[in-house]
């Protein structure tokens, strides 16, 4: 059972309807997702609520409580008949086609955070991104009507690209939690207290965003597997995240001076530009997945090895 401490931390949204929660907490994705039908929006928002619960077990508790909460989630996944808030959410998204083994990968990713483990190299980084975001792309497939398994590696890559953008954007916020997701061993206290980004860190952010472009490109090559209406939503949502990275680059990778965000006007511009994708080949033509992008992921669900 999830600890009372966790429920106290999350009481402001555990009872909140999923769509309302996503509108408050995931503004960029909600901005794009209003194109969904009412039923599909509810399903996607319910998955978001589940993912948010898992993330907050890692992010919003003291280390010991966090570890206990994550272990509770793993236990619940192995015992689906236990009637916790978590299992009720899991059972609901299972009705929409989401697999419990995929949710387990997300919880394992959260466990990495709660244990205070470090990213030692690029392979560690890619596996972490798979577990906290790539697998979310995989789970989204069942919610938006994707049937062809050839789409799954592209969905994973789109999630990885978006997570790499998140890591670049949230360097300071993560450092304030004592976490650094960059392979080089930076002192989180130094990053948390700095107002200017060191030159070496700027270069690493550039490399991270360059890597994200590779995964975005692979993700976009899988767009044609998605039914047309959700295809537009996913295109806009991914481009919104991608343009956060572009804005970081335009600001000379100054990531410690403040969190980079898109204004509402910028989001509208990106959405309008994204509409041009309808006239591009990758929006309609199924692309080939590059196996090398998954070479460091191992035998986890959905990968192309």
Helix, strand, coil share of the chain (percent; to 5): 70, 0, 30
Give the pLDDT score at 278. 75
Residue 11 banded pLDDT, cuts 50, 70, 90: low
Residue 132 has pLDDT above 90, yes or no: yes
Question: 158 and 226 in contact (C-beta within 8 Å)?
Answer: no
Give the pLDDT score at 169. 96
Q: What's the residue count for the chain? A: 305
CATH code for the structural domain at 118-298:
1.10.600.10
Burial label for 176, CB within 10 Å (0-12, 13-18, 19+), is middle
> Where along the chain do its domains lie?
14-114, 118-298
Give the pLDDT score at 209. 97
Give the tens place of pLDDT for each residue, 242-299. Answer: 999 999 999 999 999 889 999 999 999 999 988 777 777 677 788 889 999 999 998 8
Give the pLDDT score at 65. 82
Give the tens place of pLDDT for each residue, 140-181. Answer: 999 999 989 999 999 999 999 999 999 999 999 999 988 899
Q: Which residue has better confidence, 83 or 48?
A: 48
* Interacting residues of 31 by C-beta distance below 8 A, sequence separation 6+: 236, 237, 240, 267, 271
Give the pLDDT score at 13. 64
Burial label for 177, CB within 10 Å (0-12, 13-18, 19+), is middle
Residue 9 has pLDDT above 60, yes or no: no
Residue 239 has pLDDT above 90, yes or no: yes
Residue 6 banded pLDDT, cuts 50, 70, 90: low
Angle subtended by helix axes 63-78 and 38-59, to nearest 10: 130
Give the tens place of pLDDT for each residue, 211-222. Answer: 999 999 999 999
- Average pLDDT rounded to a whole number, residues 105-132: 91
Residue 113 banded pLDDT, cuts 50, 70, 90: confident
Give just the sign of the alpha carbon dihedral 282, 283, 284, 287.
Answer: positive
DSSP state of 303: -
Give the pLDDT score at 96. 95
Give the tens place of pLDDT for each residue, 19-71. Answer: 888 888 888 788 888 788 889 999 999 999 999 989 888 887 777 888 888 88
Give the pLDDT score at 60. 78
3-class DSSP state for residue 239? helix
Nearest to 146 by CA among 44, 275, 52, 38: 44
């Amino acid at each position: 059972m999830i600890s009372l401490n966790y429920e106290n931390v999350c009481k402001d949204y555990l009872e909140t309807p999923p769509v309302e929660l996503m509108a408050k907490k995931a503004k960029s994705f909600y901005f794009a997702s209003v194109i969904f039908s009412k039923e599909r929006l509810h399903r996607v928002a319910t998955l978001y609520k589940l993912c948010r619960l898992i993330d907050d077990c890692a992010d919003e508790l003291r280390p010991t409580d966090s570890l206990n909460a994550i272990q509770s989630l793993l236990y619940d996944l192995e015992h689906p008949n236990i009637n916790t808030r978590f299992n009720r959410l899991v059972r609901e998204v299972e009705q929409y086609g989401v697999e419990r083994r995929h949710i387990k990968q997300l919880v394992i990713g959260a466990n990495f955070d709660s244990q205070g483990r470090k990213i030692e190299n690029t392979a560690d980084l890619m596996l972490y991104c798979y577990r906290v975001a790539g697998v979310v792309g995989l789970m989204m497939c069942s919610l938006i009507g994707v049937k062809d398994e050839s789409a799954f590696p592209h969905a994973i890559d789109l999630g990885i690209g978006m997570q790499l953008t998140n890591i670049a954007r949230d360097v300071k916020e993560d450092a304030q939690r004592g976490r650094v997701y960059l392979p080089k061993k930076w002192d989180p206290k130094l990053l948390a207290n700095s107002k200017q980004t060191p030159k070496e860190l700027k270069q690493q952010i550039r490399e991270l965003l360059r890597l994200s472009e590779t995964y975005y490109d692979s993700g976009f090559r899988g767009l044609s597997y998605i039914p047309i209406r959700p295809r537009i939503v996913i295109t806009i949502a991914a481009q919104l995240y991608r343009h956060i990275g572009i804005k970081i680059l335009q600001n000379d990778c100054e990531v410690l001076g403040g969190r980079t965000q898109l204004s509402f006007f910028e989001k509208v511009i990106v959405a309008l530009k994204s509409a041009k994708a309808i006239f591009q080949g990758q929006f309609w033509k199924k692309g080939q997945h590059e196996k090398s992008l998954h070479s460091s992921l191992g035998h986890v669900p959905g990968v192309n090895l």
